[in-house]
Amino acid sequence: MDLVSLGYSYSRIIHDYYVRNWKDDRGSSKTAIAGRAVKAYLADTDIHKNIDAVFKAPDDDGDLEEYSKTWAHQIDKFFSPYETVKLPYSFGDYLVMALDEQYRKSCLVDLDLKRKSIISEVEPHTGDILASIQTAIKETSEAITHLVALAPNGLQDDSDQDLLRARQETIEAISSLEDGLAQLDFELSRRDIEIVE
């Protein structure tokens, strides 16, 4: 099933792979996936571990199984159309990275296709240059922030999650700059000005 052509949102794509993974007889259980995702989230946001209302950290590793069941229940409630549970910002990234490899890879491909389909819906040259500048400033500052966080000690000591997030932010920054470039090129060609590369 082509989730992107069906118009699925990012969260629906993640949900679909999450469900496929735990329903697979050879796949990890729902609680195992939730446990991996939340443990990675808590490790990256250690400062919040005792105040996060959604994902409270266990005091004892022996309680991890019970906590994972609660976390899986919270994730199910988030994806339910009948609930109004919110998950922490960017938690979807952690959930994707917690999937078993074959589901994780396919999910990342579909998420990238979704991003490309959204970008291609609007002709870049038809946009407003001021909006493009604002978007470029936002996207490049986010990309730089993530890249700077990776810089100490090189990339070898950073998590897969951190590297993928920085890569995604960098792609979004490049895309926003390409939109501005397309607007400039369109205006120059409209004026019959030759662009020399």
pLDDT digits (tens, 9 = 90+) for 83-102: 887 888 778 899 999 999 99
Question: Percent of the chain, pLDDT > 90?
Answer: 25
Q: Is residue 110 assigned to a domain?
A: no
Which structural domain, as residue segments, surrounds residue 48?
10-101
User: Is 191 a residue whose pLDDT tops 70?
Assistant: yes
| 73 and 136 together in one domain | no
Give the pLDDT confidence score for residue 52 in this predicted structure: 55
**Domain end among 66, 101, 136:** 101
Q: Is residue 4 assigned to a domain?
A: no
Give the pLDDT confidence score for residue 3 in this predicted structure: 54
Q: Is residue 48 assigned to a domain?
A: yes
How far is 173 from 169, CA to CA, in rounded Å? 6
Angle at 16 between CA 41 and CA 39, to 5 degrees: 15
- Specify the number of domains making up the chain: 2
Q: Is residue 116 assigned to a domain?
A: no
How far is 103 from 98, CA to CA, in rounded Å? 10
| 17 and 64 together in one domain | yes
Give the pLDDT confidence score for residue 47 in this predicted structure: 59
Position of tokens 């952690």? 94
How far is 65 from 32, CA to CA, in rounded Å? 8
| 15 and 91 together in one domain | yes
pLDDT band of residue 33 (cuts 50, 70, 90) is very high
How far is 171 from 173, CA to CA, in rounded Å? 5
| 93 and 37 together in one domain | yes
Stated pTM of the model = 0.58
| 83 and 153 together in one domain | no
The count of C-alpha atoms lying within 13 angstroms of the C-alpha of 193, restricted to the half-sphere facing its C-beta, is 9
| 18 and 94 together in one domain | yes
| 78 and 137 together in one domain | no
